[in-house]
A = this chain, B = another copy of it.
Amino acid sequence: MSGQENSGIDSPEDSQVYSLAIDGMGGDKGPEVVVAGLNIAADRHRNMRILLIGDESKLLPLLAANPKAAAICTILHTEQSVPMDMKPTAALRLRQSSLRLGMDVVANGQAKGVVSAGNSGAMLALAKIVVKTMPGVSRPAMAAVSPTVKGDLVALDLGANVSCDWRNLVEFAVMGDIFAKTVLGLPAPRIGLLNVGSEDQKGDEKLRIASEVLRESPLADQFAGFVEGYDFTSGKVDVVVTDGFSGNVALKAGEGVMKMATALLRQVFNRNLISRLGYLLVRPGLERMKEWLDPRRYNGAVFVGLNGVVVKSHGGTDAEGFACAVDVAMDMVTHNFNASIRERLEHMTALMAQRQSHES
């Protein structure tokens, strides 16, 4: 189970370093969406060089139809790919899958990051084994951006770890802070720790310890204490830190409510001729609201805490959504996301070790 062994990459001729490796075969809709997404992203990132990994016989015709993508892509051919419903343990055995090769080139430095719309479980497992967890980080987390009433917010963990201890939460806060600085461009993001109430005595021990450690840390000024489920959208904080179970549940519960609201609104507008006329009058504003909340704009969840940039696109997204996931990966690569995390974690490690020895 080592990422160091021969990965089957026999020389995309040059020793060039690619900006990103892209899993050409991942996603519910496969290579069509990936290549069309690259065609869109190509316009936004001038010097981006892509190593596109997958079945040449499928990718070549798509590149022919998407010339901007063709201009920035080199194909690394493989016939193996990870099906969307394959268990992570099985995916780990496919040494030549497009997803695996994407991780390999990040691990060996041929690419600075990898983007896939494929199987999330397989992606996390492969990332941990091949790209490996960053020194000083106990566990990688899944982070993503979502809309609030006031601006955007970073939430993590969104499902990489179903349970967490206080160290994990403190590390998530560190990584979330750098993420918000890098992707949202905020100079001093406000950080909240998710709990069932904002009072100090709420929640369990891991939350209380994580809160105490953060209050004594270099993040103290940015730390807003405990926040609640409302605060995923209230604009009170810029980063919400939580375990992967609650984060995943909250994110999906919110998406569910948004879907319900949309379905009910559709009924309201389609009620009769008068309401349909009303709809026409408010449509321009609704279109802007739809743009603001567009899930494609928020596509691209990042596995943070790895020795490389690993970005997961939603499997069901379209070309525009995939291009947004590429944007996120490029932000990370360009702004040296991982170097900033390493630096900040060094400050925190001493603090956490102190707390830990205090405990035992």
B203 touches A230 (CB 8 A): no
Instruction: Note all chain B residues with C-beta closer than 8 A to A251.
Output: 229, 253
| Cross-chain contact of A271 among B244, B269, B285 (Cβ < 8 A) | B285
B252 and A249 contact, CB distance less than 8 A: no
Shortest distance from the beta carbon of A252 to any chain B beta carbon, whole Å: 3
**Cα-based distance from A211 to B204 in the complex (angstroms):** 25
CB pair B268–A285 under 8 Å, yes or no, is yes
Asked if A277 is at the interface (CB within 8 A of a chain B CB), the reply is yes
**Integer count of this chain's copies in the complex:** 2
Q: Cβ of A279: which chain B residues have Cβ within 8 Å of it?
A: 278, 282
* A71 at interface, CB cutoff 8 A: no
Contact of A256 among B231, B259, B282 (CB under 8 A): B231
**Does any Cβ of B come within 8 Å of A281's Cβ?**
yes
User: Is A159's CB within 8 Å of the partner chain B?
Assistant: yes
A293 at the interface (CB under 8 A from B): yes
A52 to B256, CA, bound (A): 40
The B-contacting residues of A in range 278-310, CB under 8 angstroms, are 278-282, 284-286, 288-289, 292-293
A269 & B256 in contact (Cβ 8 Å cutoff): no
Roughly how many angstroms separate A282 CA and B270 CA in the complex, as a whole number? 9
Taking CB atoms, residues of chain B closer than 8 Å to A259 are 149, 230, 233-234
**A118 shortest CB reach to chain B, Å:** 15
Q: Is A159 within 8 A of B250, CB to CB?
A: no
The 25 sampled A-B contact pairs (Cβ below 8 Å) are: A147-B260, A149-B263, A149-B264, A163-B204, A229-B254, A230-B252, A233-B260, A245-B246, A246-B246, A249-B249, A251-B253, A253-B253, A254-B254, A257-B257, A264-B292, A264-B293, A267-B285, A267-B289, A268-B282, A268-B285, A268-B286, A268-B288, A268-B289, A278-B279, A278-B281
